[in-house]
Amino acid sequence: MTEQEKLDKQEQKARYLRKAKTLSEALPYMRRYAGQTIVIKYGGHAMGDDDLSHSFAHDVVLMKQVGMNPVVVHGGGPQIGRMLEALQIKSSFIDGLRVTDKDTIGIAEMVLSGSINKGIVASINNVGGQAVGLSGKDSNLVIAEPLRRTRKDPDSNIEQVLDLGFVGYPKKVNADFLRMFEESSVIPVIAPIGLGENGETYNINADTMAGAIAEALGATRLLLLTDVEGVLDANGELISEMTEEKARAMIADGTISGGMIPKIDTCIHAVDHGVGAAVIIDGRVKHALLLELFTEHGAGSFIGHAK
């Protein structure tokens, strides 16, 4: 054996040892989460690249394999935006929510329940999982009502009702239907579309949808995958643990804005309504889910009562 071959062999042995160590360190976490429901919100920004989508699919399959109940709720804001642009339909946002008229709701449903949902299902199934794609319409999974938003007019101080069109808020979640999947090898993948009481279609912010599902299932964790490290302070530093008071103050002073507002609102509501904890994590990092669940330090910004 040459010197180089000896070095290669040593390096290979060291690599195997590192892998074995990582696996043995993961064991207590696997035990902790066995049988627990983990709702994962997979944001449209986090879906960008094939390598990341592949590692996401792998992580979800591994979670199911080791006895957890992963439930995937996905977004697709950037993808809806691109389709609207191609069709020359203008789109605007209020507090991170897309104002949704009749044309927009048709496109949003087509993109979310169509290509995005089936793309995620296919990538999970390609790596050995058994995913099934759903939207809030299937089995009355999420019954929605119109979301009402008000804002004080700064001049008159009079409260105004904002018209968001077909933006919905989850009113009722069919948790029994989702619990059926806990007894099976099926991983549900859910598009954020809700069904109105008169058969209307509602566009639901995917964070809000994931939060409502996590609450209905009493999930142990709500993991929100996005395109930033987590919640950042005014200096751009990651805040690894957030309190409700701190989050409210940061929204009020503008440090938290745009799409981060519905995310934070969702996390606070979820931990106040039976979800163990919510974590905003960086979906741009490979195996972000495994890092959060199976390592001591976790990742991203944690909002909850107990680690």
Ligand X SMILES: CC(=O)N[C@@H](CCC(=O)OP(=O)(O)O)C(=O)O
Ligand Y SMILES: Nc1ncnc2c1ncn2[C@@H]1O[C@H](COP(=O)(O)OP(=O)(O)O)[C@@H](O)[C@H]1O
Find the binding residues for ligand Y in span 248-287 (CB under 6 A): 255-260
| Other C-beta atoms lying within 10 Å of the C-beta of residue 234 | 9
Residue 192 makes contact with ligand X by CB under 6 A: yes
Q: Please pick, from the candidates 33, 37, 44, 116, the single residue that binds ligand Y as defined by CB under 6 A.
A: 44
- Smallest gap, in angstroms, from Cβ of residue 234 to ligand X? 23
Annotated binding residue 203: yes
- Alpha-helical (H) ranges within 89-158 are 102-109, 117-126
Spatial distance between the Cα atoms of 59 and 53, rounded to a whole number of angstroms: 10
Spatial distance between the Cα atoms of 257 and 247, rounded to a whole number of angstroms: 11
Find the binding residues for ligand Y in span 214-243 (CB under 6 A): 226-228, 231-232
Annotated binding residue 148: no
Residue 77 makes contact with ligand Y by CB under 6 A: yes
Residue 77 makes contact with ligand X by CB under 6 A: yes
Residue 40 makes contact with ligand X by CB under 6 A: no
> Are 19 and 54 in contact, with CB atoms under 8 Å apart?
no
Annotated binding residue 205: no
SS3 content of the chain, % helix, strand, coil (to 5): 45, 25, 30
Q: Please pick, from the candidates 75, 168, 170, 276, the single residue that binds ligand Y as defined by CB under 6 A.
A: 75
Q: Which of 244, 143, 152 is nearest to 194 (CA)?
A: 143
Name the residue whose CB lies closest to ligand Y. 259
- Smallest gap, in angstroms, from Cβ of residue 228 to ligand Y? 4
Spatial distance between the Cα atoms of 253 and 248, rounded to a whole number of angstroms: 9
Radius of gyration of the chain from Cα atoms?
A: 21
> Are 204 and 167 in contact, with CB atoms under 8 Å apart?
yes
- Smallest gap, in angstroms, from Cβ of residue 299 to ligand X? 19
Residue 12 makes contact with ligand Y by CB under 6 A: no
- Torsion-angle region of 238 (φ positive above 0: left; ψ -120 to 50: alpha; else: beta): beta
> Are 278 and 298 in contact, with CB atoms under 8 Å apart?
no
Bridge partner list, 188: 132
- Smallest gap, in angstroms, from Cβ of residue 205 to ligand Y? 8
Residue 205 makes contact with ligand X by CB under 6 A: yes
Find the binding residues for ligand Y in span 50-69 (CB under 6 A): none
From ligand X, ligand Y, none, which one binds at residue 97 (CB under 5 to 8 Å depending on kind)? ligand X
Bridge partner list, 232: 238
Q: Which is nearer to ligand Y, 217 or 264 (CB)?
A: 264
Q: Which is nearer to ligand Y, 123 or 208 (CB)?
A: 208
Q: Which is nearer to ligand X, 44 or 136 (CB)?
A: 44
Please tell me the count of residues contacting ligand X according to CB under 6 A. 16
Q: Which is nearer to ligand Y, 96 or 114 (CB)?
A: 96
Residue 43 makes contact with ligand X by CB under 6 A: yes
- Smallest gap, in angstroms, from Cβ of residue 167 to ligand Y? 14
- Smallest gap, in angstroms, from Cβ of residue 116 to ligand X? 9
Tokens of 93: 């946002």
Q: Among all chains, which residue has been given the structure tokens 């989508």?
A: 53
Bridge partner list, 73: 41, 190
Which amino acid does the sequence have at 173?
A: V
Spatial distance between the Cα atoms of 193 and 252, rounded to a whole number of angstroms: 29
Known binding-site residues for substrate equal 76-77, 98, 203
Known binding-site residues equal 76-77, 98, 203
Q: Rule CB under 6 A: which residues touch ligand Y?
A: 43-46, 75, 77, 96, 226-228, 231-232, 255-260
